[in-house]
Amino acid sequence: MSKERILVADDHDALRRGIIRALRETGHDVEEAANGNAAIEQLHNGQFDVVVCDLKMGGSDGLDVLRTAKALHPTTAVILMTAFGSVQTAVEAMQLGASDYVQKPFEIEEMELKIDKALEVRRLKHEIDYLRHTQPDIYDFDRIVGASGALQRVLDIVRKVAKTNTTVLIRGETGTGKELIAGALHHNSLRADQNFVRVNCAALQENLLESELFGHEKGAFTGADRQRIGRFEQADRGSLFLDEVGDMSPNTQAKILRVLQEQEFERLGGTRTISVDVRLITATNRNLAEMVATGEFREDLYYRLNVMAVDIPPLRERKEDINALTQTFIRRFCGELRKQVTGLDPAAEKLLHRHNWPGNIRELENAIERAVLLAEGDVITPDDLRLGEQSPAFNGSNVASVVKIPPTGIPLEEVERQAVVEALTMSNWVQKDAAELLSITPRVMNYKIKTLSIEIPRHRRAAAIST
């Protein structure tokens, strides 16, 4: 069994050492960090499979560590340890990409279980990522879920252009399915039995760009100890998918333009001119036309890429697709995570439809994965979804200022206390209703009542309990 690398970050020495000892005993390769800054430094120095991190630490806190971990190594699983009373921050952390959290104090077995779960999810994700690029059937049009008119119109266009050699530019917000559509284009084209090669332009390092795209001969530069075939050559007679094409530096844009114009190049350090026949598919979540106007994107390149544009609408404009997508994801994750979830309860379903989905299908997919993982029964509840306590009625501008701060100042906790008491009074002390007014879950409401030491009036106690 390969050893998993785990980083444990907590400024509580005894606790940290205890966790480390236990994890080492189970055979993991464990590193430690005594505070947030040290953890961030470790993340810059190497990659970890799992980061176990305290939420509250001096200097950089757990959220900083989480952000760094996700930015540097998106596949790293981060599990946060929270003190009793910071559940809400933990929920925020889940939205930032944390895999899970444990509330202190906890038994070490609970932590081990969460680590195992996180590793399992990670392993499956790797497998899926790998399969996605080797299995053409994943790009079958049947696999693209959604009956909304908006999506069907997109798919109609895609079906039509798939069989041609036309250069296609796929536009859409993050997580709308651009890569999926790019794959569908290739695997339903006449080039389907040739390579589909993806290049993430945002991740291209400028100094390695030419060798990445065009390849190099052995000895072309220090470190070039063997010949390398570049992406353009790999994609010969197939399709080349340039992803995140709006994130290329001006230099990179110029180089790409040149090959597109000439369809030929030399490997670095080579003399032979290589000509290729590639079908070009590109995607971006940026507004290229606007970038052309501001001079950030080359106009000549833009026209070369934008021969045929395919626009994928955001999920919030095709909410009819939510149910079908959700069902598909539930089925998939139940299989992967060996769970027996059959659907959502009505409140959870309502929540899915109220949510704005800034992260689109990927956000939905992640939310369902998490929910399936967390669900205790056979249906997903609003708590399992952890979509944040946002409410659509409140958009920050349709409400006049509700808080008056006295010139002498007021502790935030007091403001919160007053809001909770007011909501409770308005709802006749029915906690569930008061929670809804404040867009929090009943569980959080109950917790607020306790931590803010709010006295429930004697004659209302029964009502409060019956919720």
Ligand X SMILES: Nc1ncnc2c1ncn2[C@@H]1O[C@H](COP(=O)(O)OP(=O)(O)OP(=O)(O)O)[C@@H](O)[C@H]1O
Contact residues toward Mg ion (CB under 5 A) are 178-179
What, of ligand X, Mg ion, none, does residue 365 touch, CB below 5 to 8 Å by kind?
A: ligand X
Could you say whether residue 167 binds ligand X (CB under 6 A)? no
How many positions of this chain bind ligand X (CB under 6 A)? 16
Shortest approach of ligand X to residue 364 CB, angstroms? 8
On whether the CB atoms of residues 241 and 197 are closer than 8 A, the answer is yes
Long-range contacts of 57-61 (CB under 8 A, 24+ apart): 57/9, 57/10, 57/11, 58/11, 59/35, 60/35, 60/36, 61/36
Which of 34, 145, 268, 437 touches ligand X (CB under 6 A)?
A: 145
If phi over 0 gives left and psi between -120 and 50 gives alpha, with beta otherwise, what is residue 428?
left
Using rule CB under 6 A, residue 178 touches ligand X: yes
Give me the residue label for tokens 């689109």. 360
Q: Name which of 132 and 417 has its Cβ closer to Mg ion.
A: 132
Residue (185 or 420) nearer to ligand X, CB: 185
| CB 304, min distance to ligand X, A | 21
Say whether residue 57 binds ligand X (CB under 6 A). no
- Interaction between residue 179 and ligand X (CB under 6 A): yes
**What residues between 313 and 352 interact with ligand X by CB under 6 A?**
325
Determine if 174 is a binding residue for ligand X (CB under 6 A). Answer: yes
Q: Which range in 50-58, 169-177, 224-232, 337-345 contacts ligand X by CB under 6 A?
A: 169-177
Tokens 């940026």 found at:
286
Report whether 125 contacts 136 (CB < 8 A): no
Q: Are 38 and 68 in contact (CB under 8 A)?
A: no
Nearest distance, CB of residue 370 and ligand X, angstroms: 14
The answer to whether residues 239 and 245 touch, using CB atoms and an 8 Å cutoff, is: no
Query: Residue 326 binds which one of ligand X, Mg ion, none, with CB within 5 to 8 A depending on kind?
Result: none
Q: Smallest gap, in angstroms, from Cβ of residue 140 to ligand X?
A: 11
* Residue 76-115 contact track with ligand X, rule CB under 6 A, x = bound: ----------------------------------------
The least CB distance from residue 270 to ligand X, in Å, is: 33
Q: Which of 77, 115, 180, 344 binds ligand X (CB under 6 A)?
A: 180
174 binds, among ligand X, Mg ion, none (CB under 5 to 8 A by kind): ligand X
* Interaction between residue 189 and ligand X (CB under 6 A): no
- Residue 54 or 243: the one with the smaller Cβ distance to ligand X is 243
Which region holds residue 54: left if phi is over 0, alpha if psi is between -120 and 50, else beta? Answer: beta
Smallest gap, in angstroms, from Cβ of residue 231 to Mg ion? 17
**Residue 251: Cβ-neighbour burial (10 angstroms; 0-12, 13-18, 19+):** exposed
- Residues at the contact surface with ligand X, assessed by CB under 6 A: 144-146, 172, 174-180, 285, 325, 361-362, 365
